[in-house]
A and B are shown apart, each in its own frame.
Chain A
Amino acid sequence: MADRVGIVGIYQTKYEPRKIFDSYPELVFEASSKVLEEAGLTIEDMDQVVTNSQDFWDGRTISNRTVSEACGSVLRAESKVAMDGSFAVFYAAMRILSGCYDSCLLVSHCKMSEGSPHLINNAMFDPLYQRILGFDELSTCALQAKRYLYKYNVTEEQCAKVSVKNLKNGRLNPYPHRAMKVTVDQVMRSTKLADPIKELDAYPGTDGACAMVLANEDKARKWAPNPVWISGMASRLDSFYLGDRDLAEVASLELAARKAYQMAGIINPRKEIDLVELSDFYSYQELLWLEGMGFCRRGEGGKIVDKGITELDGELPVNASGGILSGNPVTVAGVVRVAEAALQLMGKAGEHQVEGAKKALAQGHCGPCGQGQCVIILERGV
């Protein structure tokens, strides 16, 4: 990338199963005001706001209308990305790269406790042919998991190891709510949701918000002693209909990762990238996405986790934050991946800090079975 966009500040609310005392505009206000306060900035320093939410989850048409006072977009430029948060980071950075704006406040929110995941996710499918089958995110991801495990002989135990690792990592992170010490056996024996996905293979319903301040190189250097730079970002969309894809492979992620690596000048991602924050709504996804991003060959995701490569002290820590399995809301999850990767590079990750991390990758996805994929590469400030 010719120009660079810097991440200057990050704020996350606590992620909780049900935030009964905060409406979502209040979550947005907390995240927006605190991210600016902690960065020593005010809303006057922000040229624009990008919000990230879903009308379906908010139960509101034009859901960004509701948060305009909370995010400070009154008589300012604001736009809403209604996708996973990783795409919102992409859009915020792009608007700065255009040269039209110097800076951007990005804020993402979701209160999953106020909606029905089944009904909402059923609405992403074709109304004539698919909705009637009862398709939702869980049931279709179970189909994907089945296909992936079958094709490459990946085992349910290998998937369970992902949950064990991520839930353990999450205990070192003060924000998520479901971090816990569990064994493979416990994951295997947890309630079956949709074969082969069990309760501890799946992310928990979560409420929360995450905000970020991004800026062009001049402003970022002025505002932060060690900003983190976005050095590559790319996204791709795959086919919508599940039958048009081999669900054991992710063409959109392969292409997005390849493009992002090219932008960041990365030739061997396994060697050059120090840590990964990926969107693990279900444990199998961590393995499948690692393959898609070229960290191992197709079908070898299970072996990577067996060897402990992705552990916090492994060769390539994956989801040191605890990931989405530890509890991040949908939509917000993609912003959190970028935020957690950035915190690592800033050296501000606290107890789950990976020492000496210089380059990190954040990945997000949305749509049925990871149809849309977004990869963002971050580098420590120089």
Chain B
Amino acid sequence: MARRSKRNVAIVATGQTDHRSKRPDVNIVEMINEAVRRCLADANMTMEEVDAVVIGNMEHFEGIFFTEMWSVDGAGSFLKHGMKITTGGTTGSSLAQAGYYHVASGLFDTVMTIGWEKQSEGETTAGLIFQADPLWERATMSGAIGSFAASATTYMDKYGISEEQAARVAVKNRKNAMNNPHAHLKMDLTVEQVLKSKMLAYPIKMLDMCPTSDGACAMIFASEAKAKKTCQNPAWVIAGVTRHDQPFSTDLEMLMNLRTLRSATEEAYKIAGIKEPLRDLDVVELYEPCTFAELSWYGAANFCDPAEAGKLMDSGATQMDGELPVNPSGGVLSTNCIGATAMIRVAEAAIQVMGKGGKRQVPNVKQAMATGFGGSWWSDVMILSKTP
């Protein structure tokens, strides 16, 4: 069981590239550097003030062993403490938690975390298939789409969720993305367009699925003294929780009522003193790899009963002007540079708490939650607050 850290830790700055399907104009180190410079500018700091750099991505996607070593020039970690953490899709949120632990340990005052992926330089589905057991699972492993499709049909059947309700998630998130200068897919869609988009694997259609993006995200975590000195409205880290699960997909319920997210949010809510998440949270950045996942995970995160997620979507509660806006940034459906994706959730939640959201800002955010998803149906949860 996790507790709140001994020392207060705050997020004081974020920086993102403008995510695209291809960034042929930069190499990986240059792309990382773009996010780092934007983050330093946001913090009004120089690299000299940063004590440590924690970085990660999916090594097999671009075929780079020792990313943390290779990227030193762009990441700014030269002669600093550096570390690489990788946990698949949750890499970004694992890195954000690592930034939190680095500062909370009292060993560092100012720590930069960097997540990145340049999917145009690799083959994502091949990389993903390599996670499957070579004897038992690899022959039937089909990357992300197949497993989401199989579990989405189960989810639809059990709770009477319709394809239209899922399509509404795509419409909402891609519309929100139009307000986010960094987002990759910004689209003004109708439910009908989503339903008519190319079928990938029933019931997942092209517009139900997240894209593959090139991009990087950097964040700065700081101690209480440093945060108060350098940042007017820092986002304080209240809770960081991780739950992993069994290695074989066939042992898991998968998308439906994700048990790692249920367990992780229960613990995070306890640490943060949250009783009714729909009421107590002001905004959520939820890692939704496909439309059906966002619906299912409303239930897993206890925003509603698992059977009522479709209704919650229909009610508009998770729209920008709803009771609990989910994914004002456009979410993963709009941007997915995998090693950065879960960190972007934390960064966007921090942006909302810091009041730096511009056109995507939700008014009066006091408490925000970010989730990460990856690996073998794993979940990370982080809760941020305006007050320490």
Assembly CA distance A372 to B69 (angstroms):
7
Assembly CA distance A82 to B68 (angstroms):
9
Q: Which residues of B contact A25 (CB under 8 A)?
A: 247
The reply to whether the CB of A126 lies closer than 8 angstroms to some CB of chain B is yes
B:205-235 near A, CB below 8 Å? none
Residues 26-70 of B, flagged 1 when their CB comes within 8 A of A and 0 if not, give 000000000000000000000000000000101110011110111
Is the pair A68, B245 in contact by a Cβ cutoff of 8 Å? yes
Q: B69: which of A60, A67, A127, A237 is its contact (CB, 8 Å)?
A: A237
Is the pair B105, A62 in contact by a Cβ cutoff of 8 Å? no
The reply to whether the CB of A295 lies closer than 8 angstroms to some CB of chain B is no
Assembly CA distance A371 to B83 (angstroms):
12
B:77-98 near A, CB below 8 Å? 77-88, 94, 97-98
Known: A54-B65, A100-B101, A237-B79. 10 other contacts (CB 8 A): A61-B128, A61-B129, A62-B87, A62-B131, A81-B83, A82-B84, A94-B105, A99-B7, A240-B70, A371-B69
Select from chain B the residue with minimum beta-carbon distance to A53: B86
Assembly CA distance A97 to B106 (angstroms):
8
Is the pair A94, B72 in contact by a Cβ cutoff of 8 Å? no
Is the pair A237, B78 in contact by a Cβ cutoff of 8 Å? yes
Assembly CA distance A126 to B29 (angstroms):
11
Assembly CA distance A120 to B59 (angstroms):
12
Is the pair B72, A62 in contact by a Cβ cutoff of 8 Å? no
Assembly CA distance A81 to B100 (angstroms):
16
Is the pair A79, B97 in contact by a Cβ cutoff of 8 Å? yes
B236-244, B300-308, B327-335, B356-364: which lies at the interface: B236-244
| Given A3-B106, A237-B78, A98 contacting B243 (CB threshold 8 A) | no
Is the pair B106, A238 in contact by a Cβ cutoff of 8 Å? no
The reply to whether the CB of B345 lies closer than 8 angstroms to some CB of chain A is no
Can you list 30 residue pairs at the A/B interface with Cβ under 8 Å? Answer: A54-B65, A55-B130, A59-B130, A65-B131, A65-B247, A65-B375, A66-B247, A67-B247, A68-B244, A68-B245, A68-B376, A69-B246, A75-B259, A75-B263, A76-B244, A79-B242, A80-B94, A82-B56, A82-B85, A97-B104, A124-B64, A124-B66, A235-B81, A236-B79, A236-B80, A237-B80, A239-B78, A366-B66, A367-B66, A367-B69
The reply to whether the CB of B279 lies closer than 8 angstroms to some CB of chain A is no
For chain B, which range describes its interface: under 10, 10 to 19, 20 to 34, or 35 or more residues? 35 or more
Assembly CA distance A237 to B52 (angstroms):
10
Assembly CA distance A106 to B66 (angstroms):
21
Is the pair A56, B65 in contact by a Cβ cutoff of 8 Å? yes
Is the pair A237, B85 in contact by a Cβ cutoff of 8 Å? no
B:331-374 near A, CB below 8 Å? 374
Is the pair A98, B83 in contact by a Cβ cutoff of 8 Å? no
Q: A237: which of B56, B72, B104, B374 is its contact (CB, 8 Å)?
A: B72
Q: Which residues of A contact B87 (CB under 8 A)?
A: 62, 64, 78-80
The reply to whether the CB of A169 lies closer than 8 angstroms to some CB of chain B is no
* B211 nearest CB across to chain A (Å): 19
Assembly CA distance A3 to B107 (angstroms):
10
Assembly CA distance A103 to B5 (angstroms):
14
The reply to whether the CB of A123 lies closer than 8 angstroms to some CB of chain B is yes
The reply to whether the CB of A300 lies closer than 8 angstroms to some CB of chain B is no
The reply to whether the CB of A95 lies closer than 8 angstroms to some CB of chain B is yes
Q: Name the residue in A76, A99, A235, A368 with the highest tally of chain B Cβ atoms < 10 Å from its Cβ.
A: A99
The reply to whether the CB of B158 lies closer than 8 angstroms to some CB of chain A is no
Q: A83: which of B68, B77, B259 is its contact (CB, 8 Å)?
A: B68
Is the pair B130, A240 in contact by a Cβ cutoff of 8 Å? no
* A376 nearest CB across to chain B (Å): 13
Is the pair B68, A252 in contact by a Cβ cutoff of 8 Å? no
Assembly CA distance A74 to B58 (angstroms):
22
* B279 nearest CB across to chain A (Å): 26
The reply to whether the CB of B2 lies closer than 8 angstroms to some CB of chain A is yes
Q: Which 10 A-B pairs have the closest CB atoms?
A: A99-B6, A367-B69, A98-B104, A62-B88, A97-B105, A77-B242, A123-B65, A237-B82, A61-B131, A61-B130
The reply to whether the CB of B127 lies closer than 8 angstroms to some CB of chain A is yes
* B373 nearest CB across to chain A (Å): 12
The reply to whether the CB of B296 lies closer than 8 angstroms to some CB of chain A is no
Q: A238: which of B78, B134, B244 is its contact (CB, 8 Å)?
A: B78
Is the pair B130, A237 in contact by a Cβ cutoff of 8 Å? no
* A138 nearest CB across to chain B (Å): 15
The reply to whether the CB of B192 lies closer than 8 angstroms to some CB of chain A is no
Select from chain B the residue with minimum beta-carbon distance to A259: B81
Assembly CA distance A73 to B376 (angstroms):
12
Assembly CA distance A74 to B60 (angstroms):
24
The reply to whether the CB of A13 lies closer than 8 angstroms to some CB of chain B is no
Assembly CA distance A73 to B246 (angstroms):
8
Q: Which residues of A contact B70 (CB under 8 A)?
A: 124, 126, 240
Q: Which residues of A contact B127 (CB under 8 A)?
A: 61
A:221-238 near B, CB below 8 Å? 233-238
Assembly CA distance A90 to B101 (angstroms):
11
Assembly CA distance A73 to B4 (angstroms):
20
Is the pair A78, B244 in contact by a Cβ cutoff of 8 Å? yes
The reply to whether the CB of B164 lies closer than 8 angstroms to some CB of chain A is no
| Given A65-B247, A94-B102, A239 contacting B60 (CB threshold 8 A) | no
Q: A75: which of B6, B128, B245 is its contact (CB, 8 Å)?
A: B245
Select from chain B the residue with minimum beta-carbon distance to A254: B79
* A84 nearest CB across to chain B (Å): 10
* A335 nearest CB across to chain B (Å): 15
Is the pair B64, A76 in contact by a Cβ cutoff of 8 Å? no
Is the pair B105, A69 in contact by a Cβ cutoff of 8 Å? no
Select from chain B the residue with minimum beta-carbon distance to A233: B107
Residues 259-291 of B, flagged 1 when their CB comes within 8 A of A and 0 if not, give 110010000000000000000000000000000
Residues 348-368 of A, flagged 1 when their CB comes within 8 A of B and 0 if not, give 000000000000000000111
Assembly CA distance A241 to B178 (angstroms):
41
A:81-129 near B, CB below 8 Å? 81-83, 87, 90-91, 94-95, 97-101, 120-121, 123-124, 126-127
Is the pair A79, B78 in contact by a Cβ cutoff of 8 Å? no
| Given A98-B101, A237-B68, A366-B69, A75 contacting B81 (CB threshold 8 A) | no
Select from chain B the residue with minimum beta-carbon distance to A119: B65
